[in-house]
Amino acid sequence: MGLSLKNVQKNFIIGGKKLEVLHDLSLDIEAGEIISIVGTSGCGKSTLLKLIAGLDQVSSGEISLNGSVINKPNSKETGIVFQESRLFPWSSVEKNIAFGITEKLSNEEKKKRIQEHIDMVGLHGFEKALPAQLSGGMQQRVSIARTLINRPNVLLLDEPFGALDAFTKINLQEEVLKIWQKEHMTIILVTHDIDEAVYLGDRVVVMSPKPGVIKDVIPIELSRDRDRTNADFAFYRKRVFNEFYRSEETEEDFVI
């Protein structure tokens, strides 16, 4: 079961001309898997996540979750953290997170769940703060909490740590892993950061542009206590890097 992409195609019309953005993407993702997606700007990564979230429709092909075709958003099933911040600037942390709740809950339950998620992303004490009073990393945590609050089975993260410094990024990666270890949801993470892709992914999907296709899928056969500084990690980093920039090189380039 899990999430299945079958021959997914997506075209847009720009200025009266057809633009093929995604071409014949097929991939099966198991429940509880973490998939990292890397690819150059404009290769269709955000478009793909929006299709998986049911926020847009495929031009042809099919995306299904546990056997049901996805054609509209379902926040119980799939949550997305967008590339750009979508917090309401005039609302506090707790209110921003409350906006994410799509279930009918009593006020008591709502309060409890909001506090749980604030604590989960390490923002205890900032319940009443406005987004502008938070650092960039803290704002991202609010976005993540707002999405997680519906306990989706599939979490889509679109370059969630792109604008953050290396230390904050590493902390948030650890937090996402902790939450995953607890909830075991499927995660699809779009990132520009090869280290991040290898550190978090069970598999790294490398896309190439014009039109966006899956160039390679690299399984990361490392245990979960990954060490970014060891040779095995460096091997996978190099493999993804080579795949990313490969033009005329041969397979032998993968050998270290």
Is residue 5 involved in binding ligand ATP (CB under 6 A)?
no
155 φ/ψ angles, rounded to the nearest 5 degrees: -110, 120
CA distance 37 to 214: 9
**Residue 219 exposure: Cα atoms within 13 Å on the Cβ side:** 5
Q: Which of 4, 46, 147, 150 binds ligand ATP (CB under 6 A)?
A: 46
Is residue 14 involved in binding ligand ATP (CB under 6 A)?
yes
Q: Which of 36, 47, 78, 140 binds ligand ATP (CB under 6 A)?
A: 47
- Residue closer to ligand ATP (CB basis): 51 or 172: 51
Report in angstroms how near the CB of residue 10 gets to ligand ATP at its nearest: 8
Is residue 47 involved in binding Mg ion (CB under 5 A)?
no
CA distance 96 to 147: 10
By a kind-dependent CB cut-off of 5 to 8 A, residue 219 interacts, out of ligand ATP, Mg ion, none, with: none
CA distances from 152 to 59, 87, 176, 185, 231 (A): 25, 19, 14, 7, 35
Is residue 255 involved in binding ligand ATP (CB under 6 A)?
no
Q: Which helix (H) or strand (E) element contains residue 200?
A: helix 194-200
Is residue 237 involved in binding ligand ATP (CB under 6 A)?
no
Residues in the chain: 256
DSSP state of 137: H
By a kind-dependent CB cut-off of 5 to 8 A, residue 70 interacts, out of ligand ATP, Mg ion, none, with: none
Q: Which of 46, 147, 150, 186 binds Mg ion (CB under 5 A)?
A: 46
| Sign (positive or negative) of CA dihedral 138, 39, 152, 195 | negative
- Residue closer to ligand ATP (CB basis): 55 or 129: 55
Residues 68-127 that bind ligand ATP (CB under 6 A): 83
Q: Which of 25, 45, 78, 191 binds ligand ATP (CB under 6 A)?
A: 45
The pairing of beta strand 154-158 with beta strand 203-208? unpaired
How would you class 34 by CB atoms within 10 Å of its CB: exposed for 0-12, middle for 13-18, buried for 19 or more? buried
CA distance 251 to 237: 15
Is residue 42 involved in binding ligand ATP (CB under 6 A)?
yes
By a kind-dependent CB cut-off of 5 to 8 A, residue 44 interacts, out of Mg ion, ligand ATP, none, with: ligand ATP
By a kind-dependent CB cut-off of 5 to 8 A, residue 43 interacts, out of ligand ATP, Mg ion, none, with: ligand ATP
- Residue closer to ligand ATP (CB basis): 83 or 168: 83
CA distance 190 to 145: 18
For residue 38, the tally of other CB atoms under 10 A from its CB is 26
Residues 188-227 that bind ligand ATP (CB under 6 A): none
For ligand ATP, the binding residues (CB under 6 A) are: 12, 14, 21, 39, 41-47, 83
For Mg ion, the binding residues (CB under 5 A) are: 45-46, 83
